[in-house]
Amino acid sequence: MAKVSCRKAFSSELLAQARQNPQIWAMATDSRGSVTIGDFFKELPNQSLELGIAEQNAVAVAAGAALMGKNVFVAGPSCFLTARAYEQIKVDVAYNHTNVKIVGVSAGVSYGPLGCTHTSLHDIAGMRALPGLSVFVPADAVQTRFLTRWLTGYEGPAFLRMGRGDVESVYGEEETFQVGRAKLARQGSDVTLAACGECVWQALQAAELLAQRGVSARVLDFFSIKPFDEEAVIRAAEETGAILTVEEHSVCGGLGEQVARTVVENRPVPVKILGFPDSECRVGASADLFRAYGLTGEAIADQALRLLGKGR
């Protein structure tokens, strides 16, 4: 299947939905190119607002329009949107419970060669900590289209986080998802690989390698970070006895810590958290950084074997 970027899947689906519903608005922060949302602005000028390189204002303007009945998608690079406008997201979006969708693109290490001004390895942690704000991290274009469609019908604040580049297809077009439920991407019984975003595909590669070593790995896709599927984690702990988490995010405050807390509070089993360490990220293309920080299928499989006491 052809590789498609999540951002293009998002922008084309949003445009399709907005054609049917004039209450759906898009706002940009000089980010029409980076979000690939230029067509929306051209076709629906009365449903879009360009607010310039001013994320704080854009998020609060979105909240203001939402208070007048609009369902506003404010989209820009996640590194700026979720950090520069954090207080606006906290107060104007989450606390005011406005119908605003914060869409962070080029998240994680998508902008790896640009250095740490442009990494966005903090955003899941930051957004998760805001009461009332839902958090979603799609794994591929199919799931992004599903979430975008779902969010156009959802009245409330949410954060949708995606990368920049073309991604492997994890799901077929007819795949179904349920918000608040982890997606079982592969069944398994010896260990669970819990992943989100582009790491789901890497986890599936790892599961394939583990199968060759006689290890049956379950892969759970936590695209719905909040609401979070605690039951799936507890079941995985009970049925597979060990959980490895994988995410394109800091090990501080992301999916891994959410899984670990659920396990510790409910069904203690060994857990290992894979992600980016709490240190300045090295510079490089996304694929190079995934290799350097052990987030490839091979490295994940190695870590899983170690967790099971079968490591080299």
Partner 1 sequence: METLEHIAFDRRLDVLDMVYRARTGHIGGSMSCMDILCALYYRVMDTEKIKRGEADRDRFLLSKGHCAEALYAVLADRGFFPRERLLSYARFDTALAEHPTRKIPGVEAATGALGHGLSLAVGMAAAARRDGSPAHIYVLMGDGEQDEGSVWEAAMAAGKYGLENLTAIVDRNRLQISGNTEQVMPLSPLAARYRDFGWEAVECSGHNSEELVRALRLRSPQKPVAVIANTVKGYGSELMENKAEWHHLVPDEEQYACIRAQLEQRRGAVSRG
Rounded Cα–Cα distance for residues 138 and 289 (Å): 20
**DSSP E strand boundaries for 29-131:** 48-50, 71-77, 100-105
What is the pattern of x (binds partner 1, CB under 8 A) and - over residues 76-115? -----------xx-xxx--xxx------------------
What value, to the nearest 5°, has the Cα angle with vertex 265 and ends 247 and 123? 30
13 is catalytic: no
Q: Is 21 in the site for partner 1 (CB under 8 A)?
A: no
Q: Is 66 in the site for partner 1 (CB under 8 A)?
A: yes
Closest separation between CB of residue 26 and partner 1, Å? 13
What value, to the nearest 5°, has the Cα angle with vertex 152 and ends 149 and 153? 95
Q: Is 42 in the site for partner 1 (CB under 8 A)?
A: no
Rounded Cα–Cα distance for residues 266 and 185 (Å): 23
Rounded Cα–Cα distance for residues 189 and 266 (Å): 19
For 210-245, letters b (16+ CB in 10 Å) and e give beeeebebbbbbbbbbbebbbebbbbbbeebbbbbb
**Single residue of 16, 44, 67, 292 touching partner 1 by CB under 8 A:** 67
Rounded Cα–Cα distance for residues 23 and 276 (Å): 39
Q: Is 32 in the site for partner 1 (CB under 8 A)?
A: no
Give whichever of 55 and 221 is closer to partner 1, judged by the CB atom: 55
Rounded Cα–Cα distance for residues 116 and 109 (Å): 9
Number of residues counted as binding partner 1 (CB under 8 A): 28
Closest separation between CB of residue 83 and partner 1, Å? 14
Q: Which of 55, 198, 248, 257 is catalytic?
A: 55
Give whichever of 57 and 205 is closer to partner 1, judged by the CB atom: 57
**Single residue of 6, 15, 28, 65 touching partner 1 by CB under 8 A:** 65
Give whichever of 43 and 231 is closer to partner 1, judged by the CB atom: 43
Instruction: Characterize the bridge pairing of strands 166-167 and 4-5.
Output: antiparallel
Residues that bind partner 1 in the complex, under the rule CB under 8 A: 46, 49, 51-52, 54, 56-57, 59-70, 72, 87-88, 90-92, 95-97
Catalytic residue positions?
55
